[in-house]
Every structure is written in C-alpha cells, then in structure tokens.
Structure 1
Amino acid sequence: MTKPLDIAVVGGGIVGLATADAIQRARPGLSLTVLEKEPEVAAHQTGRNSGVIHAGLYYAPGSLKARLCAGGAARLFQYCAERGIPTTRTGKLVVATSRDQLPALDELERRGRANGVAMERIGPGGIAERELHAGGIEALHVSATGAVDFGDVARALAADLSRAGHEVRTGFEVREARRTPNRTRLVGPPGNIEARVVVNCAGLHVDRVMRLLGHDPRLRVLPFRGEYWSLSGAAADRVHGHIYPVPDPRLPHLGAHFTRNVAGRVELGPNAVWAWGREAYGRFSGRVPDALEALSYRGFRHRAS
C-alpha cells in the first residue's frame, strides 16, 4: 500500500496555497499535496476580486484582523518584490462628503493610527491635490494602500511549492472522504489520495468539504456576487488610485468605491446581488442544486425576512 501523505490541503486558491506554503516552511520534512478541482489554481475567488492590498485601517485595534492585515500587507509587498510580481502603491482616499460623516471618519482615523497605519487627514485642497476629480469636505489619505493580481501571487506560491518538492494537483475534485483513526482517503477523479491530516481551504465549497470529512457546520455558504462597472477612456483617466466613501457602520461592507488595479483598469463597485450558484459569475448563469440548497437553508430565510 502506498504510504499516505502527511498533509493534504483541499483548495488551490490563495488561502490553500499560502497555508501549504506556511506548513512546508515550518516543517519542510513533511510530505504535502494541494488538491484543486479546477484545471488551474486561483480560478475562483482568488482570481476574481479588486486586488486591493489594504493597510489595516478598518479593523478594531488589537484584533486578529488588524494584526493580520497590517502585517500581511507588508509581507505581501516584500514577497511580490522578491518574486518579481507587479504591485502598485498609489494610496487610498476615504472621503467624507458631508459633516454628518465626520464622526465615522474620526473613528477610522483612531483605528488606523492605533493599528500603526501611516495616514494624513486632509481637507478639500489636499483631496484635489491627490484626486483632482474627487470632491469632499475632509478625507483620510492612506499612502500604503496598493494593488496586486492575487492570481499572480497564487501561481507564484504554487511554483514555490513545486520547487520545494510538493505537488499541486489540479483537476482533482474531492467527492468523498473515508476516515480511519490514522488517515483519511480522499476520493475523486482522477483517483484516491490518503493523508494523515486534511486541511480544508475549499473556499466556496468549504462547508461541503467539512460535511464530507464528517463535520456538520451550522453555517452554509450563500451565493452572492459582487458586480463592478469598468471605466474607460476619459472616465478612467480621472481616477489616480483608490477612492472610498466613509463606510456606513450599519452595513457590513465598505461601500461602492473606485479602484485602479495593477493592470491600470479602473472599476467602480461592488454591489452585492443574489447568485443562482456558488460559481455563477454571469447574470443569467446558475446551478439548480446550488440554488435549491441555499433557498432551503434557514439562514437564508432569516436573512431574507
């Protein structure tokens, strides 16, 4: 019988690849394989986002999110420089357009300074100096905010793993897991893999993989899709870097914003719309089993009520 792997990581997005990379750096003697169901890594969330590298402005001081965001941004820029991955660091403006937004801007400034984020409080003149076509009464300028193509980062991590002697196996969809006291057999085309430890980084399917592994999570993934408008021509030329509103504390997002990605494309968004499938990226695409599963979940009914 083939000797089982020490670790199998399910999911070839940036979380799975970065997790595998951290494991092999900490324990280089372990045998490790990353399993990705698509023909290539970074096919879903990792390759479908704005690419903004946040500086750590928004999170509660001392929280894990704050520490990981600020420290992770610095390490990401360093990693990209070492691997020759293009990045930008054009900075971000968080703009207050009315006086009733100033208390929330004050709180953002307090959080950012407590998190060690370099920033500057500016007025209308400073706003126009950095973003000529932006208007507001006050703003925070965060110089460390930048952008990267996270698909490029994921591909570099996959290459690092391969050079270290570990396999990134694409086209392997985990459809069944058979557990014994000492190992788990992961079953799916094109075969079986056994591992002593399985790390679940399956992104949009993380809850399903948990159930395959014998755990029944209370939470389910509900499919929502963010949509962006792409600016072109003279409209795109009016945006230099990243322009954000002061976020509404009653809402769980940062608000619609302008971003200039690492390729120089300017986008406005996102919104958040219901999707008829976990990987339904078009307005009229979907998958009936995904939709039925989500609609029958009590969490969806609670959210919709």
Structure 2
Amino acid sequence: MYDFAIIGGGIVGLSTGMTIGQLYPSARILVLEKENSWALHQSGNNSGVIHSGIYYKPGSYKAKFCHEGNRSLVKFCQNYEIDYEVCGKVIVATVKKELGLLDNLYKRGLENGLNVTKISAEEVQEIEPYVHCLAGIKVSTTGIVNYRQVCQKYIVLIRNQGGELCFNTKVRKVHEIGENLVLETNRGTFETRFLINCAGLYSDRIAKLGRSNPKAKIIPFRGEYYELKPEKRYLVKNLIYPVPNPDFPFLGVHFTRTIAGSVHAGPNAVLSFKREGYKKNDFDLRDFTEIITYPGLWKLAAKYADQAIEEIIRSFSKAAFVRSLQRLIPAVQADDLIPTHAGVRAQALMNNGNLVDDFLIVKSQHAIHVCNAPSPAATSSLEIGKAIARQIPEQSHLKTRVSV
C-alpha cells in the first residue's frame, strides 16, 4: 500500500514526488512512468529556457508560478551544482504595428513584478549585434538550463527520501476499493491512498480513468526546430524573441542559446496526428480520431485559420521558416540552419474552441489531476509541486507534516 502514487515521470511528476516526500517524510511514495527512462517528452524536448513570466495574465497560475519558479529553480541549481545561466533575453518589435504590443507586454511585465527594461534599437544591438528592430524589452531574469539534469536530481532526492520509481509501467485502469485506489498496469496492480496525475500528453485520459472530467481534451502540437551551424552561432549571443501575436496562442519562432552552447531556432506550432508525434509522418489512429472528431478543434481552426496555414507552410518550407527568422536576424541564411529535434506540446482545448491558457489542476476526493501543464511548466515545476502538495487533504495517518 502506497500513501501517494504519481503517474508521469516528467518534470512536474518528479517535482511533485520530491515535494510530497519533503512534506510527509514517512510517506510511501510511488512514481510510475510508462517509458524506459525519465523526462522523454515535454520535459526533455524543450528549449531549456528558465522563463521569467512576462507573457502570462497577472494573477494566473502561470504568472505566479513562473515568477516564483524562476527564482526557486535558480536556487535549486545553485544548491545542487546544476549548470545554468541567467543570461537575459530581448523581445523585439520589428515593424511599427508591433510597437504598441511591445508597450503592452512591458506593462504586463511590470504587473507581474519582473525586472524589465524598455530599450532602443541601438541598445538592443549592444546586446544582440545582428538583430534589426525598432525597439525592444530586456528581460534580465530569463535563463537557460538542461531540464533533464534537473529531473535527474529530482529523482535522486525522491530515492533518498525512500520513494520508489518504476519504468515501463503503463496505467491501464483506475478503480476504487473502499477509501483507496487501485492502479492496474502492464506490470501488475498498485494500491494507493491518493493519486496525482501528471501524465502530460495523456493527462486527460488518466483523469477519465479516475472518473474525473477535466472538461478539456489534450491536443498535441508539434514544435519543429532548426539549429545554427557551429560556425554561425556568433549571430546569437543569448535569447531573441519576437513580440508575440496576440491573435495567436503561441510565441512565434525565436532564437535560443542552450546551456550546451548550441543555438536553436524555432519552434513553429503544427497539429500532430499522434500524441507523441515528433515526426511529420507520425500517426496513431486512436489519437487522430479523437482529435479530428473533437468539436473544439474545428472551432479553434476557424478562429486561427490564417495563422495555422502559415505554421503548416513553415513546417514544409524551409524557405518560409528562414524568412520568419530573418525578421529578427536578416543575416541568417538557409544554409546556416540544420534540422534538430522536435517537441510536442500537450495543450488542453475546451469544447468551445478556447485553449486552456493557464495550468489546469482538477481535484477529486482521492486524486489531483494536472490536466494542462505546457510551458512554462518546467520553469514552474518546483512551484507546481508545492501547490499540489498543499492541496492534498490532511493525511491523518502520517503524523509528521513539514511545511513547504
């Protein structure tokens, strides 16, 4: 019998397991992961950015957890000697119509309590010499890290606390026996007093197995990247972002230096026909059928038809992708770029066609389901773990409770 079982071995599940272990040192904690390793999906296929929280609606989970998570993650990396760098980033307006949007973004940064500075085009070029723009914002607290290393340290701490982690273990059914839950998997059954669902791309399905309704479906969006050839990395010093289009829920292609020294360019955002569809030709019949028959998808497509077509064109045309990058750095040429890994964003979509724009946490008597945790979940992972731990009902059989 376990006190807590966590489904999902990504950064949110691992942070939650570590934090619950701190809250209840005597608890028996189990983390189940269907893959043969940890952080293989969203947690290990992202840009590695420690986000500041500038984009998110003031007062939202994303704004609060990202701002606090930025600081707590940096402190965590310092404490455990994980390589990171707070290098800052610039967000730039490249055409006149973006200047008002840049002002609005600056005000949002201030509302969210961030260290942001409006800078001129000349000041942008002092930071990023190859960027051509009209004006920009400097965000000093943005950083870079390898989130796989962060996840590995979470695992070490869970094990040091006595927690158990199981690879290759896929949950197939969840049912109640008295006050407990039984998880049926491909490797036998596990009984737990409380369940935390951090299954990412499959979080909505796990919630339904547990008889919870998140009122949203996970729709996978593939983000495709290029990488600057080593001899062209000088074009980017740190991180360069465009002003996001307020009529589209994704940030647009940007340049990101990684902690390993490479420079990624992207991503675009295209619908995937498989929940783990990292390649253009990846296809799963069940996933495809669920996606294509979901009314919310068609309402979303109608709302963002022009932008969606642009993203699809970028997916199949390197020239179109390069043109988008040249809005930021005109010197970038097609020959400077080579394809690199893609990521898949687990985005919750409601039946009315609205994307869930905040972290979505659904509670029931014996479970908590994290049903929308795309970016900036990695930056926010420690704060999400704390929030989940605090929402767990008091466990009277576990006498020792430590505040987190």
TM-score above 0.5, yes or no: yes
Structure 2 partner of 1:6: 3
Structure 1 partner of 2:198: 201
Residues 1:274 and 2:271 aligned together? yes
Give the conservation status (yes or no) of the 8 Å contact 2:230–2:262.
no
Q: Distance in 2 between the 1:216 and 1:64 partners?
A: 20
Q: Distance in 2 between the 1:107 and 1:293 partners?
A: 37
Structure 2 partner of 1:250: 247
Q: Distance in 2 between the 1:16 and 1:275 partners?
A: 24
Q: Which structure has more RCO (C-alpha within 8 Å, separation ≥ 6)?
A: 2
Structure 1 partner of 2:300: 303
Residues 1:42 and 2:39 aligned together? yes
**Which of the numbers 124, 130, 134 marks the counterpart of 2:131?**
134
Structure 2 partner of 1:159: 156
Residues 1:179 and 2:187 aligned together? no
Q: Distance in 2 between the 1:264 and 1:81 partners?
A: 20
% identity of equivalent residues: 38
Q: Comparing 191-200 with 214-223, which one deviates more in the overlay?
A: 214-223
Per the normalisation by structure 1, the TM-score is: 0.95
Q: Distance in 2 between the 1:132 and 1:110 partners?
A: 26
- SS of the aligned residue for 2:171 comes to coil
Q: Residue deviations 1:38-76, cap 9 Å, x none?
A: 111101110011111111212233333222111100000
Give the conservation status (yes or no) of the 8 Å contact 2:115–2:141.
yes
Residues 1:98 and 2:95 aligned together? yes
Residues 1:149 and 2:146 aligned together? yes
Give the conservation status (yes or no) of the 8 Å contact 1:90–1:240.
no
Give the conservation status (yes or no) of the 8 Å contact 1:256–1:270.
yes
| Superposed displacement of residue 304, structure 1 | 3.2
What value does the CA root-mean-square deviation take over the aligned residues? 1.4
- SS of the aligned residue for 1:30 comes to coil
Q: Residue deviations 1:154-196, cap 9 Å, x none?
A: 1110110001111111111101112123111111121110001
What residue ranges of structure 2 are gaps of 5+ in the alignment?
303-404
- SS of the aligned residue for 1:29 comes to coil
Structure 2 partner of 1:125: 122
Give the conservation status (yes or no) of the 8 Å contact 1:9–1:16.
yes
- SS of the aligned residue for 1:249 comes to coil
Q: Distance in 2 between the 1:219 and 1:109 partners?
A: 31
Give the conservation status (yes or no) of the 8 Å contact 2:250–2:269.
no
Give the conservation status (yes or no) of the 8 Å contact 1:38–1:172.
yes
Q: Distance in 1 between the 2:123 and 2:298 partners?
A: 46
- SS of the aligned residue for 1:85 comes to coil
Give the conservation status (yes or no) of the 8 Å contact 1:124–1:135.
yes
| Equivalent AA in structure 2 for residue 96 of structure 1 | A
Residues 1:192 and 2:189 aligned together? yes
Q: Distance in 2 between the 1:182 and 1:259 partners?
A: 48
- SS of the aligned residue for 1:126 comes to helix
| Superposed displacement of residue 136, structure 1 | 1.0
Per the normalisation by structure 2, the TM-score is: 0.72
Q: Distance in 2 between the 1:176 and 1:63 partners?
A: 33
Structure 2 partner of 1:55: 52
Q: Distance in 2 between the 1:205 and 1:225 partners?
A: 15
| Equivalent AA in structure 1 for residue 93 of structure 2 | A
Give the conservation status (yes or no) of the 8 Å contact 1:183–1:197.
yes
| Superposed displacement of residue 256, structure 1 | 1.2
Structure 1 partner of 2:346: none
| Superposed displacement of residue 99, structure 1 | 2.5
Residues 1:226 and 2:253 aligned together? no
| Superposed displacement of residue 249, structure 1 | 1.2
| Superposed displacement of residue 86, structure 1 | 0.9
Q: Distance in 2 between the 1:276 and 1:206 partners?
A: 17
**Which of the numbers 165, 168, 173 marks the counterpart of 1:168?**
165
Q: Distance in 1 between the 2:33 and 2:264 partners?
A: 29
The count of corresponding residues between Structure 1 and Structure 2 is 302
